[in-house]
Chains A and B, each alone.
Chain A
Amino acid sequence: MNPSLNLRAGLVSLVLLLALLSVWQLATQPKTSNATAYANPEYAAMMGSATTKAAGLPTPEAVGQTLVHQLANPFYDNGPNDKGIGIQLSWSLGRVLAGFLLAVIVAIPLGFVIGMSPLMFKALNPYIQLLKPISPLAWMPLALYTIKDANASSIFVIFICSIWPMMINTAHGVASVKKDWLNVAKTLEVSPFKTAIMVILPAAAPTILTGMRISMGIAWLVIVAAEMLVGGTGIGYFVWNEWNNLDLSNVIFAIFMIGFVGMLLDAIFGVLTRLVTYQE
């Protein structure tokens, strides 16, 4: 039953892909009358290849060519506005990882404190509730003004958006550790610090990792927008730059790559979550 279900699901996926590609193909088919769009042949000649670039959405074939072309040489560097997709993605991933790690360092200990102490939970809850719904990009002007560095500001924005799901999940996981396990540690005279490391951490690990997974997802969403704002490098800047070049093939290619990397990041956390998940 199982393999046949997988097979059938794969088949449906394939059919959907083909359908999607044909709709795309039909919608973007270049019209033969395009060449005569310009009344003045001299003007048309002057525009040259630019006309073909701007002629509506690219076909699947054109995007496919871009994909092959870009992935064939992902790390080329021809100056500030022409870098390979690998370089751009590395910049984005670097910022996401830096902001995310900073958030881990702050959110997990703080989540422990909130989860273990009802007093701290009540004291900090209003701040968390107020800060959590703020769009991370709203911090950008303040970050740029105080930090005075575009790169560090995007890292800060990633930090501020990653911190909440991690902190809330950690606090929740820590607070819902079974009383029995804590009592076992207590009757064995295990020190509070050791209890936190040996009992609470493994008990809450699945919840904490779920929070980290949500944070990573949000961070990857936010980095694109942040890089569009600050510019310079990164996949977000790449998208915006290609939009300014009116190269929609590259834009579509970049969108695909953003999705692909996001999927990979999520899969990594999926594996990590499975490693720490325990069955009761």
Chain B
Amino acid sequence: MKQAFLKVEGLKKIFPGVAGSDGVIVFDDIHFEVQHGEFICIIGHSGCGKSTILNVLAGLDSASGGNVFMDGREISGASLDRGVIFQSHALMPWLTVRQNVAFAVKSRWPEWNKMQVEAQCVKYLELVGLGHALDKKPHQLSGGMKQRVGIARAFSIEPKMLLMDEPFGALDALTRGIIQDELVKICAATQQTVFMITHDVDEAILLADKIILMSNGPHAKIAEIVENPLARPRLRTEMHHNDHFYSVRNHMVDFLVSRSRKISQGELPPNYDPRHPPIIRPLSFATE
């Protein structure tokens, strides 16, 4: 069997306890794999440690146990191979839009001359529809435009993998929809491997090929991995007419509403194996 592009083995995180008391095990025994070109979403309630998992993948945080391998090599520390899109866009307010992206491009290719850097910046900023705002400062942009710059910055370094921590959480529904569409387009065009945190079930169905459902923390686990029965290309405007849309949606909402808590209280399926969490492919009964 072909080696997975990203492999997470036995990941565990303990938050140190307050003076003397034992630490809190946020999650342990987390195993999953990501194939090249796959779009993975992770859903779970606050406190299940999904942000910590993402930060470990990004190299910004270190796990208390377990290993992560990318392309067969163990991840230790941050790397240009993994681009990160932060929830709060994290643009540097003293730089223009162009300079923010150039900062990333120059870090990725220090040997490039001015024109090469410029061309790369403009290319990705135009890709997210910001060709007209190159010399604006972040505070002159709307929330959606700022997040687009963050997306352009992450894509501009052409990372092997993209990590996104609720990138659209702070945006209004309309803007979010537009940027989601753009993201779908860019990811399809660049064959980007993506790992993304979201709270939004619809967003997960639109974007993800696989959705990792996490039970509540502490001691959070991967309860199951949902394979999206909706094939690419998925369109925001049409996907709710798909036969399977509501079955997968209801499955995940049910999970978030009740099962995520029950599992954290110990109600695991009888033959649950954390190394191979159950893979579910919710289909509409009508077609089964």
Supposing A187-B82, A189-B78, A189-B107 touch, asked if A278 and B93 sit within 8 A by C-beta, the answer is yes
| Complex alpha-carbon distance, A180 and B165, angstroms | 12
List chain A positions with a Cβ less than 8 A from chain B.
178, 180-181, 183-184, 186-190, 198-199, 202-203, 205, 276, 278-280
Are A187 and B78 touching (Cβ within 8 A)?
yes
* B92→A187 contact, CB < 8 A: no
Given A187-B83, A189-B78, verify A278-B94 contact (CB < 8 Å). yes
A183-B60 contact given A188-B108, A188-B157, A189-B107, CB 8 Å threshold: yes
Chain B min CB distance to A243 (Å): 49
Assess the A189–B79 pair: CB atoms within 8 A.
yes
Whether the pair A189, B139 counts as a contact (CB closer than 8 A) is no
- Interface flag for B178 (CB, 8 Å): no
Q: Whose C-beta in chain B lies nearest to the C-beta of A188?
A: B107
Residue of chain B at shortest CB distance from A186? B78
Tell me whether B80 is interfacial, beta carbon within 8 Å. yes
Question: What residue of chain A has the Cβ atom nearest to residue B89's Cβ?
Answer: A180
* Closest chain B residue, CB of each to CB of A180: B90
4 more CB-based (< 8 A) A-B contacts, given A184-B84, A280-B93: A181-B92, A187-B80, A278-B93, A280-B139
- B125 is an interface residue with CB less than 8 A from chain A: no
Contact A187 B88 (CB under 8 A): no
Contacts of B82 in A (CB 8 A): 187
Contact B92 A202 (CB under 8 A): yes
Who on chain A is nearest to B83 by CB?
A187
Residues from chain A with Cβ under 8 Å of B90 in the complex: 178, 180-181, 183-184
* Residues of B that sit less than 8 Å from A by CB: 58-60, 78-80, 82-84, 86, 88, 90, 92-94, 103-104, 107-108, 137-139, 157
What does DSSP make chain B's interface, helix, strand, loop or mixed?
loop
With A186-B59, A186-B78, A190-B107 already in contact, the answer to whether A180 and B86 are too (CB < 8 A) is yes
With beta carbons under 8 angstroms apart, the residue of B59, B88, B103, B139 that contacts A198 is: B103
CB pair B139 A279 closer than 8 Å? yes
Q: Chain B nearest CB: distance from A198 CB in Å?
A: 7
A196 to B103, CA, bound (A): 14
Look across to chain A and name the residue whose beta carbon is closest to the beta carbon of B94. A278
A188 pairs with B58, CB closer than 8 A: no
Q: Quick check: A180 and B88 within 8 Å, CB to CB?
A: yes
CA distance A92 to B105 in the complex (A): 48
Report the minimum CB–CB distance from B285 to chain A (whole Å). Answer: 45
Chain B residues with Cβ below 8 Å from A186 are 59-60, 78
Question: Within the complex, what minimum Cβ distance (angstroms) separates A262 from chain B?
Answer: 29
Q: B103 to chain A: which residues have CB within 8 Å?
A: 188, 198
Chain B residues with CB under 8 A of A198: 103
Tell whether A203 pairs with B59 under 8 Å between CB atoms, given A186-B78, A198-B103. Answer: no
Residues of A within 8 A of B137 (CB): 278-279
Complex Cα gap A181–B88 (Å): 10
Question: Given A180-B88, A279-B137, A279-B139: A187 and B93 within 8 A (CB)?
Answer: no
The verdict on A187 contacting B94 (CB below 8 Å), with A279-B137, A280-B139 known, is no
Residue of A whose beta carbon sits closest to that of B163: A187
Bound-state CA distance A232–B209 (Å) is 82
List the B residue with the shortest CB-CB distance to A198: B103
State whether A202 touches B94 (Cβ < 8 A): yes
> 3 tightest CB-CB pairs across the interface, nearest first?
A180-B90, A188-B107, A278-B94
A181 to B138, CA, bound (A): 14
Bound Cα distance from A210 to B135, whole angstroms: 28
How far does the alpha carbon of A276 sit from the alpha carbon of B93 in the complex, in Å? 11
B81 to chain A, nearest CB (A): 9
Give Cα distance in the complex from A183 to B93, angstroms: 15
Shortest beta-carbon distance, B143 to chain A, in Å?
12
Cross-chain contact A279 with B93 (CB below 8 angstroms): yes
Whole-angstrom distance between the alpha carbons of A205 and B107 in the complex?
A: 22
Which one of A180, A183, A188, A203 lies within 8 Å of B94 (CB-CB)? A203
Residues of chain A within 8 A (CB-CB) of B58 are 183, 187
State in angstroms the CA–CA spacing of A186 and B157 once bound together: 14
In the complex formed, the residue of B with least CB distance to A194 is: B107
Q: Tell me which residues across on chain B come within 8 A of A279, comparing CB atoms.
A: 93, 137, 139
23 contacts between A and B (CB under 8 A): A180-B86, A180-B90, A181-B90, A181-B92, A183-B78, A183-B86, A184-B90, A187-B58, A187-B78, A187-B79, A187-B82, A188-B80, A188-B103, A188-B104, A188-B157, A189-B78, A189-B80, A190-B107, A203-B92, A278-B94, A279-B93, A279-B137, A279-B139
